[in-house]
Amino acid sequence: MQIEEIFEADKRLNKKKRTTPLLNSPFLDEIADRKIFIKAECLQHTGSFKFRGAYSAISSIPVERRKKGVIAYSSGNHAQGVAFAAKIHKIPATIIMPEDAPRIKIQNTKDLGAEVILYDRLSESREKIGQKISKERLLSLIPPYDHNDVIAGQGTIGLEIASQAKQIGIGHADVLVCCGGGGLTSGIAVALSNLMPNFVTRPVEPEGFDDVVRSLKIGERQINKKISGGLCDAIITPTPGELTFPLMKKYCGEGIVVTDEQVMKAIALAFTRLRIVVEPGGAVALAAALFHTNKCDNESVIAIVSGGNIDPGIFKKALDPA
């Protein structure tokens, strides 16, 4: 992955994506005891950063092949991103989703016009299902992170961070990124390593699903012991991506692990202090910024809030834990 690929993705996304704001609250600065900025990708189309990678990938497919349609597998956010990007291109989309995905994400994906096929993530392989249907229907497969054009699309967030940071005078910062398979983290890391060499990109994962953090420590890809049952469903993956891990290994600093309790506190604080709605998987970076700044090297911290598609019951519990 080269920075030029991210610039090309940015051109394809021109006037399609939203440039999301970099927010700040003195209340959050006080908790963290340093300056915290929040990149609010929960305000992106379909409620998460995933639209960027989906549109980047679909728009790069040759027109005649693209017309046949696309297929993707996802627990929700990539599903919605692909469905909406396909709708913009006026092509069919088929999405393979786990049966235990949040109902709101399944319904939103259907509402965007996609065909949804449910599977059991404990006994079935979404990759095998996707490859089978892709071959049968001649659909272009858009994986959630292990795809150059997807990574490049997510990397456009790094371009925005670089521009916004320069405007407000941030020269050194730790950039904390919610991490699953590593598409978002690696894309941002490539962009910032080229444009902001004094920034350190760090992956953040939930406790019990910290395959990337462990992989970076050991130097080779590790596997999570379980791939379901966690609060942060949006970023639970079996292992770092084949394409993303080498990029993270080259460009990222040490990762951070947060607890579910810290994630729920971050969701509540994001709403009460910033008035944004954040889902658990999208709140892990903010949780790290608030409660683990001792693991950051710089006085300024930029946390990516990667999604806001939260189940209403979980949101209510975060706001009223009693």
The model's pLDDT over 282-310, given as tens digits with 9 standing for 90+, comes to 999 999 999 999 999 999 999 999 999 99
Domain boundaries, the chain: 3-49+148-319, 50-141
- Domain 3-49+148-319 fold: Rossmann fold (3.40.50)
Contact 144, 78 (CB under 8 A): yes
Confidence of residue 150 (pLDDT cuts 50, 70, 90): very high
Percentage of the chain with pLDDT > 70? Answer: 100
3-49+148-319 matches 50-141 in fold: yes
Indicate the average pLDDT of the chain: 95
Query: According to the model, what pLDDT value does residue 86 have?
Result: 97
Confidence of residue 50 (pLDDT cuts 50, 70, 90): very high
Query: According to the model, what pLDDT value does residue 215 have?
Result: 97
State how far the Cα of 301 lies from the Cα of 178, in Å rounded to an integer: 14
Confidence of residue 315 (pLDDT cuts 50, 70, 90): very high
DSSP three-state, residue 114? coil
For the domain made up of 50-141, the CATH class stated in words is alpha beta
- 22-23 and 35-40: which strand pairing? antiparallel
Answer left, alpha or beta for residue 208, where phi above 0 means left and psi between -120 and 50 means alpha. Answer: left
Query: According to the model, what pLDDT value does residue 101 have?
Result: 79
State how far the Cα of 33 lies from the Cα of 23, in Å rounded to an integer: 17
pLDDT tens, 80-110?
999 999 999 999 999 999 888 778 788 889 9
pLDDT tens, 163-204?
999 999 999 999 999 999 999 999 999 999 999 999 999 999
